[in-house]
A and B are shown apart, each in its own frame.
Chain A
Amino acid sequence: MSEARSPGASSPVPPQRRSRRRLLIAGAVAAAALAVGSGTAYFVHDAKDASRDGSAVLGLVLPDLHGQQQALAQWRGKVLVVNFWATWCAPCREEMPEFVAVQARDGPKGVQFVGIAVDDPDKVRTFAQEVKLNYPALIGGYGAIELSKTLGNELAALPFTIVVDRQGRVAHTQLGPLKRATLDGLLARLLPQA
């Protein structure tokens, strides 16, 4: 199912092939449903459809470190990398310097990272200074874990990252560290060619 969540993860997919791919996925879902019992088709289907549409992510509004409400919709049209993290999550902290580097490199090309911290503002502020965070750190508090569950983070663990493409579709969801090679591959596919 992780493939279904990020169709075309390996190569650029023109729109006409995307619909064919969708058919293929639908066929695979139908076959799986036949194999294990028709009642399961809804479960698989719901998960896939919910993950393709990025409007739930783009609809989020959360306060930043200055207490200003920030709507993720302001970055619609960019490749948006939304990372749920916390200072109490060591793997989250370890991958963030990479995100800072990629934001600096690809920000001008249309990438926008946004961190949603499942944490207290004070700890976030300290860590943001430490890694010279160059993208918004929004404060979700512990409630942000529940929020991430509605976006597909079924195990409610961190880090959890969602990549939304320029058309507002979820291109990739990642539980656990987002490897630099995966991130670079995604951005090469999702950003306009120079």
Chain B
Amino acid sequence: MRSLLPLLAIVFATAHAEGIASLEPKLLPPERAFHLSARALDASTIEARFDVADGYYLYRDKMQFTTDPVPAAKLDLPPGKPKHDAFFGDVETYRGEVVVRVPLAQAAAGKTITLHANSQGCADVGVCYPPNAQQLTLAIPAGGKPGPFVEAGRKGLFQ
């Protein structure tokens, strides 16, 4: 019986995944379509990274990062690809890998910093996901060397 358990686990996991996937087989949940990770680059800079799956895009003007307890300084989002939106005018979108440097207002060596990221994106097949708020916690290394990448946990929609 014990040897059956891993098999059953696979069977259940597969069945569950199929139950959801069959509604719309092409679509990923937002946290997989727009995968967020981040690391400390040095004592006063966080590098945030969205890996956007093929066929999905994020809006540049909907992307925001904040930090606490040490606040973030003004940050420059990388340029996106121009896209004309009939209602909102000219907007910019990100595809693939988006790397954003989030400068901290002061050095935070040895501290624990929480990064909050807001984003909103769509899939080319014609659906959009609501604004998504995510957060992750980073230990800023004391030595000034880059820390490891941390994956975003899901904080939930709409703060």
Contacts and interface: CB of A to CB of B under 8 A. Distances in A.
Interface of A: 1-2, 5, 36-37, 39-40, 43-44, 47, 86-94, 118, 127, 130, 142-143, 145-146, 152, 154-159, 175-177
B126 interface: yes
Report whether over half of chain B's contact residues are helix, strand or loop; otherwise say mixed: mixed
Contacts of A146: 157
B157 A156 contact: yes
Interface stretch (B20-28, B47-55, B66-74, B101-109): B20-28
Nearest to B20: A154
Interface residues of B, number: 31
Interface of B: 8, 11-12, 14-16, 18-20, 22-24, 27, 29-30, 62, 85-87, 120, 122-123, 125-131, 157-158
Nearest to A95: B126
26 contacts: A36-B14, A36-B15, A36-B18, A37-B11, A37-B15, A40-B11, A40-B12, A40-B15, A40-B19, A43-B16, A88-B120, A89-B122, A90-B86, A90-B122, A92-B128, A142-B130, A152-B23, A155-B129, A156-B157, A157-B30, A158-B128, A158-B129, A159-B127, A175-B23, A175-B27, A176-B24
Given A90-B85, A145-B130, A156-B130, A2 B23 contact: yes
Nearest to B86: A93
Contacts of A90: 85-87, 122, 128
Contacts of A39: 12, 15
Contacts of B30: 155-157
Contacts of A88: 62, 120, 128, 131
A143 to B, nearest CB: 8
B147 to A, nearest CB: 32
A1 B12 CA distance: 17
Complex A-B, nearest 10 residue pairs according to Cβ-Cβ distance, in ascending order: A40-B15, A89-B128, A91-B126, A1-B22, A157-B127, A142-B158, A36-B15, A37-B11, A177-B126, A176-B126
A155 B24 contact: yes
A88 B58 CA distance: 12
A154 B23 contact: yes
